Structure formats: C-alpha cells, structure tokens
Amino acid sequence: MTEVAATSQKAINLMLLDPGGDFLSWTHQLSKAEPHWQVDRFDDPQMLLARFELKAPDAVFLSSSIRGYAELNVLNRMIELKPDLLRFQLGPSIHSNQSITQRLELTHRVFAQPNDIETICTTIKYLLKITQLVKRPAIRQFISNQHQLPAVPGVYLELTHALNSDTTNAKNIASIIQQDPALAAKLIQLVNSSYFGMPREISQIPEAVSILGIRTLRGLALSSRISSTYPPHKRWKYFSFERINQRALLVARLAKDICQQAKVSPGIAEQAFLAGLLQDIGILVMASQNPSDYLKVLQYAVKEKKPLHLAEKKITGLYHGEVGAALMALWNIPPRVVEAILLHPAPHLSTDTDFQPLTAVHVADALIPPVWQHKHTKMNNQLSEAYLEKIGYLSSLHHWKLLAHDYRAMMKAS
C-alpha cells in the first residue's frame, strides 16, 4: 500500500484568520519551526478572501474565537475555489453543538493546543500527502464512468446546504428528498430493513428525518446514489453488491455505537457513520468498472493468502480505499470521512494519536463478518491492535466486541 509518510521539504503557503488577535505570536512559532513555509495572518475575513482569490494557499487556519455564519460562509467560499484546501481550527471549540458539528464537517482537524507546533507541522505534511494520493490521475481515470467523472448527487448538495442553514427544519429536508420519489422509496425501504433495527415501521420521510436526523439520511441518500451509479455487471456472480451495501449499514451503525461508547463528540460519531456506509464503495466501483480484473484480485488473494487490499494493489495498482476516497474527495465529502475510507484497511499509516472516525470504522469493519471469504482470505480488514494501542484505546476493544455481538449475529443470519 502507498506509504503516507511526511512530505519532503517544500514551500507551503498557509493563511490564518484571527480577528481577535489571539494568535499574534503563533505565526512566528510556526515559521521558526518550518522556515520554508509562508504564513500570512489576517484580521478580516474579506481581506483574507481577496488574497485567497489571487493565490490560494495550501492550508487555512481559523481562530476558535470566530463566531457566526459570516466566517463560515467565507470558509465555504474558499472550499468552492479550492476543494482540496486543508482547513484547520486553532484552539478548543467554544461554540454551540450545532456550530461545532458544522466545523467538524468543514475542517480537517481542530488543534485544541495551538502551541504544539510539532504535531501541527506533522499533521499538515501528512494531510498534504493524503490529498496528493486521492488526486492521482490514475485513480480519477479509473472512477470515470463512460469517460466522465461522476457528478456529486444533487440531493446530497441540497441536504448539505440545508444543514448549513440556521432555518432548516424536518419539513424542509423531507421536501428535498421527496423531489426524487425513487430515492424517497429507497430510503423508506432502508430504514425499515432489519439492518437498521427500527423499533417500529417508518412510513413517511418527515418521520424518518425526525427520528434518524438529517446527516444520517444524507448519508443513506449518498450511498443509494453511488449504488445506482456503479451497478454490478450482468455476469458478475462472485459476491452480491446488495449484500455489501447491507453490511455497510451494519458497519456504520456499529461505528457510531463505538463513538458513543468512547464519548467522542456527536460530530465525530456522525462522520464515523457516514464513513462506515461508504468505506467499501471502492469495491463496488472496481468490480463494476472492471469485473474481469476484480475476479483476478479475488483469485490472487485466495492463491497467495493475501488481504484483499494488497491483492487489489498487486493486480490493479489501486486498492478500494484509494478509489472510494478519491470519489468522495471529488464530491467534497467531509475530509475525516475521506481519510477513514482511504485508511480503514491500514490505520497505522495515520499520524493521529487520538480517536478519529477512522478508529471507529476500522474496528467496526474488522468485527462485522465479511460478505465474501475463502478459507484464510476475507473481504473485511484485519484488526490492528498496534494502532489501537498507539492511540490509547486498546483497552476498549473488549467493550467494542460486545457492542458488535448483535450486529455480527444479524450479518450471519441474513
């Protein structure tokens, strides 16, 4: 698998938005640690945006003291201009739960300890490498459907816009989904399936919105759209695409449960759910786009007793985490979700030392039985206890295995 080590030294351009003047000395600390980096500080969001439009930086930092939608709108504008921009918050969050969740979706990391310059520099280099990986032309070419990169589903964009509005309610969200009757019917079918475990039947989209929440339904809508974009080949018979999607729902639910038991923020839990839903979409894309090569992948994995992602890399030059992450990055899915999709088979490549959506998705995927296996070869990833020990959560594994019991039984029974 492609290494995600720190990038070699090169000129990196950074911008800091700090209206309150809380980080006047921080830019000097960063420049001292990385003399070849250019760091520009701005008091005014519009001045930063004007400079940004002339020359976009590699990364932008927002002071945690920034409040209100005006600054978030500036951040959204920067993302429109440069979707692969690295986005960070400096300082601990002091906002409402809704605002914190929004920032978690828009930013790559929150640096609660801004003076930990070494960690900040290491993280920037690591995330720049992640960005380079998912932008590789070979991956973009592979995911192209009929020589054209697939467009982000319109319903996802509308739901994301609604999430960022302070006037959104369940009725607004339901009306967006109901514009697409086929999607609405599919969502009702999904939420009433045994894989979702609802205590009673849900018959209307507004009810589903109220019970499940906007972000959960947005994730389900996105997953459904991907499945229709990359259907199985008519002669494909080696594993069921539908079963992969059903299993993904169990992985997503378990990942969210793991987050809740770990007592991380609701925003991280929501992103873990979305990443769980999408972590294996690369398998669907690869098997749909080139079924003959993917059959060779399965045959090689069995013959050589190799993990699936290594067999994919050997036969095709790509693995499903790269493919799925590249597609999601193209669609501006929250960056932590992209990272979890990319690294869920190999979380040790992450430089993080704390709990992330990647943590929950890696564990959940390892604990839920795979759709396909042959003797020693399984389709899911193998649990990395070394990674859990590195981030300080190995002692939680026993509790997470207990959480997985019912999901495992559900998967085996289906």
Question: What is the domain-level CATH number for residue 113?
Answer: 3.40.50.2300
Provide the pLDDT for residue 8: 47
Q: Are residues 146 and 112 in the same domain?
A: no
Q: Are residues 242 and 358 in the same domain?
A: yes
Q: Are residues 94 and 202 in the same domain?
A: no
Residue finishing a domain among 69, 101, 134: 134
Show the domain range for 384: 139-413
Provide the pLDDT for residue 94: 54
Low-confidence ranges of the chain (pLDDT < 70): 1-10, 66-71, 93-100, 145-148, 166, 375-377
Provide the pLDDT for residue 367: 96
> How many other C-beta atoms lie within 10 A of the C-beta of residue 114?
21
Question: pTM of the entire structure?
Answer: 0.89
Residue finishing a domain among 119, 134, 149: 134
Q: Is 7 domain-assigned?
A: no
* Opening angle at CA 328, ends 323 and 334, nearest 5: 140
Provide the pLDDT for residue 102: 74
Q: Is 1 domain-assigned?
A: no
Q: Is 274 domain-assigned?
A: yes
Q: Is 3 domain-assigned?
A: no
Q: Is 165 domain-assigned?
A: yes
Q: Which contiguous run of DSSP H or E holds residue 61?
A: strand 59-63
Provide the pLDDT for residue 66: 65
Provide the pLDDT for residue 161: 81
Strand partners for 39: 14
Q: Are residues 17 and 100 in the same domain?
A: yes
Q: Are residues 45 and 76 in the same domain?
A: yes
Q: For the chain, what is the domain count?
A: 2
Q: What's the CA gap between 49 and 68, in Å, rounded?
A: 17
Residue finishing a domain among 114, 134, 154: 134
| 230 in Cβ contact with 289 (< 8 Å) | yes
SS3 state at 252: helix
Residue 40: phi and psi, rounded to 5, are -115, 130
